Structure 1
Amino acid sequence: MRLSFPARGIRLAAVVLLAPALLHPASLSAQGAQAQTAPAPADLIVTNARVYTADDARPLVEAFAVRDGRIVFVGSQREATMLKGASTRMLDAEGRTIIPGMVDAHAHFAGLAQKLRAVDLVGTRSLDEVVARVAEKARNLPKGTWITGRGWDQNAWADTRFPTHEALSAAIPDHPVMLTRVDGHAGFVNAAAMRLAGLTRITKDPDGGKILKDAQGNPTGVLIDRAQGIVGAKVPEFTREEMRSALKDAVARMHSFGLVGMHDAGASRANIDLFEDMAQKQELNLRLYVMIGDDSAALRHYFAQGPRSGLYNGQVWVRAVKLYADGAMGSRGAALLEPYSDDPNNTGLLLSAPQHIQDVAEAGLRAGFQVNTHAIGDRGNRVVLDAYEKALGLAPRVDHRFRVEHAQILHYDDIPRFAQLGVIPSMQASHQTSDMYWIGKRLGPTRLYGAYAWQSLLQTGVVIPNGSDFPVEEVNPLISFHAAIARQDGRDWPAGGWYPEQKMSREDALRSMTIWPAYSGFQEKELGSITPGKYADFVMLDQDIMRVPVELVLKTKVLATYVGGKAVYEGTVRH
């Protein structure tokens, strides 16, 4: 990759004697008019590239030009270089692949920031390993200091039962500990944390939550969904400046993997205020589509303001709401129409009453806000679709673009309802490759035909914005791209892919990370493709993910990430 800058200063030119005819006033006038209509020079011209634009009108080109942070030309190298001026930067891609800047359509900004400051439990293979990592952290902290961590997954252990607190409490007796499961829908705490929270055998399950207890009725230390709040309310929050610092680190990590934007799936008013402050101070450098968390006071505040889009030079959008219908499959909290195959007395949890979802959806329609609801189980999805349908009957609105976040397990009767209602299934391909090892035990064989059913949904005419749900999954969006086209893990298992008839094409997988997230956030006129008039957000890769063998996709490295025509990440080594 070569970046060259034209020489500044006075250039010597040969003196040419002009023929008298060329000095005729009419000729000079024509030349002047031509000069006046010539386009202004570009700030940046990218050449010698294989550019996948995600724009159906011009899907593959070799060059493009940028001025004032936006694309002004897309096409041939010969034409692009006509926009070269004295101060134009020339970027020779040396034949490498460029795609639009990728956007994660469902993730958690503050969650990633907090995880970067917590004990990393991703990849732990046993309870003993979890305890050891927490004990190592405790050695360097004063007694009484809270310890948080995230990423444990009992389904990856030899003993797949939920853990109990005894080993954790014995190893870390002097620090309250709260460890969040990989999906965020269960917490694991020690005795010190339970004491501080007043959690005992007589504590009752909250609505939408469950406290796991042993045969004697004592808490085991595992809290499902809303029960996490019993202990979570006692964990000290980040200060505003601690959160600002952690958010900056989170943005840097996103940029290193080619992400130029994300849809933040549930933010508090305090965090939204901080996001806007960072954007005003040019500390964000991110296309941030914010979903307001389900808080009645916050919703009243933002509904009164009305939808706001493209704030601070296209950095912040506040025009959506995030609700929760049910829990997650890994913790058996996803709401199912029939009991879990491996837990026949359990059909999961509804975290919100159906009437609440309908009421917020109706209020959102009247205020001009998109409503996006987490639903994983087939019952959870049906509840949301029913609530949306009733709300739309009471407050009809064209082009509402309501979303269901995850839409993982669907009854076959509900698959066509997304297109019929104009509802977008916002799905995370990497969840399929994380869950495929054990999901059959939860659901049995029949329900798997409606699990992670991307192709079945696409055939109805909907779009599927892709994402990672980080920090649930890794930040790298190419993991979801690979999962979408292969339905295999990083070791190329299973051969041929898991339920391969549901694979996406590479073209759709690219759209699912670029133009479809833009559409699902009402941003398609500004973002999502390398198209004249849109923001110049793009990524350079060291491999052509649209052509290399599937097994090489995950070896692809991001060489550079650009937001608004400016490099926000350059390098080949990640930390």
Structure 2
Amino acid sequence: MKNKNTWRISVLSLLFSASTALADTTLVKNVSGYTLDDSGKLISFSSILIEDGKVKTLDPTSMRADAVVDGDGNVMLPGLIDAHGHLLGLGSSLLEVDVRDSRSAADAAKKAAAYAFAHQKQAWIFGSGWNQEVWPDRSFPTAAILDAEISNRPVWLTRVDAHAGWANTKALELAGITKDTPDPVGGKIVRDSDGNPSGVLIDNAIGLMEKVMPKAGAALYQQQLDATGQHLLSVGVTAMHDAGVPHSVYDFYLARAAEQTLPVRIYAMISATDDDLDSMLDNGPVRSADDFLFIRSVKAYGDGALGSRGAALLAPYSDDPHQSGLLLTQPEEMAPLFSKVLGAGFQLNFHAIGDRANRMALDQFETTMKKFPNRDFRNRIEHAQVIHPDDLSRFAELNVLPSMQPTHATSDKNMAEDRLGKDRMEGAYAWKTLLNSGIPIPLGSDFPVELANPFYGLHAAVTRQDRNNQPVAGWYAHEAMTVEQAFRGFTLDAAYAAHMEDTLGSLTPGKWADFILVDQDIFDIPAQDIWKTQVLETWSAGIQVFKEKNPRLPE
């Protein structure tokens, strides 16, 4: 224990004494720049002076600097912030088989088989992205379908929302999952008509499989980090909120932060289910001097997802009256958890998708926050997808931030009304209503559940359409955001949700010079084209960290 504590103290001292070698001053001129000022008003500029990695001034009167960069008239925006993603999860998906575009369960199985053939030395075949709702039969897949393609190695493919997984028989056998295996609390083993496991595990039942999977370590984490960092920078994401990290990743991030090798800024949420939660809370908040790592929040888990009918609803599902969803944190566990996290001075970010889970979270925040008057926690509900209309105003009243992901709406539009019925849609994906109540909405993607490109999220927020511009009039279009509101959600509001608006979220003096150059003006093009925006360059703390090799030619 002495050695462990000594190591931790040395790492933390490095974090707080870290500094980055930067040119004294850099001038980027000839840009069409946009940012929000300190009051949240959209302003424009044509040049930016950077000193020691931070914004010195916009439109300086003198054009002299140690380094001068011509922006070639391109549009400059602050680096975009994804307020809810899974950093190493994206890296994992980039290194595994992607079945997102599969046309059927059989097609997904064939993709997994092709991957297995090309990776003969892998003991397990992992993948992600399947979604039965876009397949012709809209039915959960079965182990037998995978067995027809791969039977000699275990296969585990997670659903697009990461709240369900699909196993072949070999994997089920290794996990010891049989007809006699009971459903764990907060989880479900999907079974056939004879009660045998069919191959799909939902929510907490996934833990039965995770017990026998190979354990990840620092070497794999580094591969995942490298893959994710390169991808995020290429789409203009310079900072992200990592929604639920275990102790092993917590330690990995501390080490990388001390080495100053994190590719993007990470606001990490400790997983509430980690066995070492108490020790991480005891360490207190950690913020590196260069702002590449900030740990001061906890991610808790209320329910599952709508697509797998795991979202906890106040009334049964409209398309399955025998189900009302799953609670991953039981009601009696909520008060102690909330008190523990808030009592340690950490922000609590609670995953809630269904209206029951959202109400439970709001009720518990209302009760627990009475113990901590005048504390600026900025607690959050992650996803906040389906809210009872009576509860919509409570977010602003309790200062609980609804952390939402616009592309969830455009991905869910084919099934959400089936799951909920028309009446419950009044409080579903209700962005405009929540904004009008006076509460900021930090925006993200939930990658790798959705694609990480933030311009896809900006487009969905403004149009309520998918990238095929469907439906033509927008899906429940009265809840759409303006371009400026969506832009704020991916910049200043996301920074605010991480207690980092003092240094991130806009290009105003004193903040880090994190910015991107893009090929079109999102404030002056048809909204349906926002998703086509291409990132030409990405800069972090005044240093170029990405440059597009083959920018799109003018049409």
Shorter-chain TM-score range = over 0.9
Q: CA deviation at 1:437?
A: 1.4
1:46 matched to 2:28? The reply is yes
| 8 A Cα contact 2:273 2:300, kept in partner | no
Q: CA deviation at 1:294?
A: 1.3
1:154 is aligned, of 132, 147, 156, to 132
Q: CA deviation at 1:138?
A: 2.0
1:125 matched to 2:103? The reply is yes
Equivalent residue number for residue 321 of structure 1: 298
| 8 A Cα contact 2:109 2:146, kept in partner | yes
User: Counterparts in 2 of 1:98-247, with a 5 A limit?
Assistant: 98-142=76-120, 145-247=123-225
Q: CA deviation at 1:95?
A: 2.0
| 8 A Cα contact 2:90 2:447, kept in partner | yes
Equivalent residue number for residue 494 of structure 1: 471
1:352 matched to 2:329? The reply is yes
Equivalent residue number for residue 458 of structure 2: 481
| 8 A Cα contact 2:246 2:274, kept in partner | no
1:73 matched to 2:57? The reply is yes
Q: CA deviation at 1:136?
A: 1.0
Equivalent residue number for residue 566 of structure 1: 543
1:421 matched to 2:392? The reply is no
- Residues 49-100 of structure 1: CA distance to partner in whole angstroms, max 9, x if unpaired? 111112236711111110100000013xxx35x1513xx2212222221111
Distance in 1, matches of 2:115 and 2:29, equals 49
> What secondary structure does 1:313 align onto?
coil
| 8 A Cα contact 1:292 1:299, kept in partner | yes
Equivalent residue number for residue 283 of structure 1: 261
Change (3 A) 1:368 1:517: same
Distance in 2, matches of 1:42 and 1:281, equals 22
Q: How many pairs does the alignment contain? A: 528
> What secondary structure does 1:220 align onto?
strand
Equivalent residue number for residue 469 of structure 1: 446
| 8 A Cα contact 1:402 1:423, kept in partner | yes
| 8 A Cα contact 2:77 2:515, kept in partner | yes
Q: CA deviation at 1:236?
A: 0.5
One-letter amino acid of the structure 1 residue matched with residue 46 of structure 2? E
2:64 is aligned, of 41, 60, 84, to 84
Change (3 A) 1:59 1:355: farther
Q: CA deviation at 1:244?
A: 0.7
One-letter amino acid of the structure 1 residue matched with residue 247 of structure 2? R
Q: CA deviation at 1:398?
A: 2.3
Q: CA deviation at 1:397?
A: 4.2
> What secondary structure does 2:36 align onto?
coil
Structure 1: where are the runs of 5+ without partners? 1-40
> What secondary structure does 2:276 align onto?
helix
Q: CA deviation at 1:143?
A: 7.6
One-letter amino acid of the structure 2 residue matched with residue 54 of structure 1? L
- Residues 444-466 of structure 1: CA distance to partner in whole angstroms, max 9, x if unpaired? 11111111000000011000000
Provide the TM-score with structure 2 as the length reference. Answer: 0.93
Change (3 A) 1:573 1:177: farther
Change (3 A) 1:552 1:57: closer
RMSD of aligned alpha carbons: 1.6
One-letter amino acid of the structure 2 residue matched with residue 70 of structure 1? K
Change (3 A) 1:96 1:141: closer
Bigger mean CA deviation after superposition, 247-256 or 389-398: 389-398
Q: CA deviation at 1:302?
A: 2.2
1:512 matched to 2:489? The reply is yes
Q: CA deviation at 1:42?
A: 5.6
1:554 matched to 2:531? The reply is yes
One-letter amino acid of the structure 2 residue matched with residue 219 of structure 1? P
2:426 is aligned, of 449, 461, 464, to 449
Distance in 2, matches of 1:424 and 1:158, equals 37
Change (3 A) 1:44 1:143: closer
Equivalent residue number for residue 522 of structure 2: 545
Change (3 A) 1:485 1:534: same
Provide the TM-score with structure 1 as the length reference. Answer: 0.89
Distance in 2, matches of 1:568 and 1:128, equals 41
User: Counterparts in 2 of 1:353-372, with a 5 A limit?
Assistant: 353-372=330-349
| 8 A Cα contact 2:312 2:356, kept in partner | yes
One-letter amino acid of the structure 2 residue matched with residue 264 of structure 1? D
- Residues 321-361 of structure 1: CA distance to partner in whole angstroms, max 9, x if unpaired? 00000000000000001110100110000000123232222
Distance in 1, matches of 2:248 and 2:449, equals 22
Bigger mean CA deviation after superposition, 462-471 or 564-573: 564-573
Change (3 A) 1:573 1:120: farther
Q: CA deviation at 1:368?
A: 1.1
One-letter amino acid of the structure 1 residue matched with residue 51 of structure 2? R
> What secondary structure does 2:249 align onto?
helix
Q: CA deviation at 1:468?
A: 0.4
Distance in 1, matches of 2:42 and 2:191, equals 59
Q: CA deviation at 1:144?
A: 7.9
One-letter amino acid of the structure 1 residue matched with residue 392 of structure 2? I
| 8 A Cα contact 1:285 1:563, kept in partner | no
Distance in 1, matches of 2:188 and 2:384, equals 23
